[in-house]
Amino acid sequence: MTETTGEGLEANGVDKKAPEKSIFQEIKEVAAKARGKSKESMKGLWLKADEKLEPVNKKAGEISEKTKTESVKDYFRKHTESFKDGIRARSYDIYGGLYDIGAVVSQAKVMFWRNFKDGLFATYLGENQRNVKARKKKAKDYYAKAKEKAKENRGKRDKSRENAKEVREKKTVAV
């Protein structure tokens, strides 16, 4: 499709002022940049999660062998996989929405050039605005939740460390 300025439309009796085409481009570019950056960051985080949590599973495997109890290995495997699944699910959720922003803008653009007079254009723009707002809100909500969960997990870490110390220091009596 060939893009034109709004002048032609006005000349054809369309009395609305045409949006500047650069705005469409700007939205698409910003959305694509945010999407690309998020994708890279998320991929990096998934890899880091694998790297950071694998030693936990390795150690759990060693304890399982020592205690002849498969459930140690199974428990930590389940725990770490569920944590990683959570990260992936949240990032797919956010990422999918970023595609919507780009797609809706493309639709709005098509509607504008093909059918400027009817209400579809405004509908698409409204939908895009809602999408952007929803993604921003979700990103902020996920930020707050992740920070809160990190704090909670540090509390659990300290408690667990304390329990381990107490158990380790329990005296046994030699006979």
Partner 1 sequence: MTINCMNKEELKKYLEGMELEEGLRKVLFEIVDKAEAVDQALMNNIADILDLQADFYDKSADLLDEEAEIYKTLAEDLNALPESPIK
Is residue 130 close enough to count as binding partner 1 by CB under 8 A?
no
Query: 35 to 64, contacts with partner 1 by CB under 8 A?
Result: 37-38, 41-42, 45, 48-49, 52-53, 55-56, 59-60, 63
Is residue 7 close enough to count as binding partner 1 by CB under 8 A?
no
For partner 1, which residue of 90, 103, 106, 120 counts as binding (CB under 8 A)?
A: 90
Angle, CA 10 vertex, CA 9 and CA 12 arms, to 5°: 65
Is residue 117 close enough to count as binding partner 1 by CB under 8 A?
no
Task: Please count the other Cβ atoms lying within 10 Å of the Cβ belonging to residue 28.
Answer: 16
Which two structure tokens, joined as six digits, stand for 17?
């002022």
Is residue 31 close enough to count as binding partner 1 by CB under 8 A?
yes
Judged by CB under 8 A, the number of residues near partner 1 is: 77
Task: Decide whether 5 or 41 has the Cβ nearer to partner 1.
Answer: 41
Task: Decide whether 9 or 132 has the Cβ nearer to partner 1.
Answer: 132
Nearest to 102 by CA among 7, 3, 22, 25: 25
Task: Decide whether 13 or 66 has the Cβ nearer to partner 1.
Answer: 66
Which two structure tokens, joined as six digits, stand for 66?
């020592």
Task: Decide whether 2 or 172 has the Cβ nearer to partner 1.
Answer: 172
Which two structure tokens, joined as six digits, stand for 138?
């979700």
Q: Give the DSSP letter of residue 169.
A: T
Task: Please count the other Cβ atoms lying within 10 Å of the Cβ belonging to residue 31.
Answer: 22
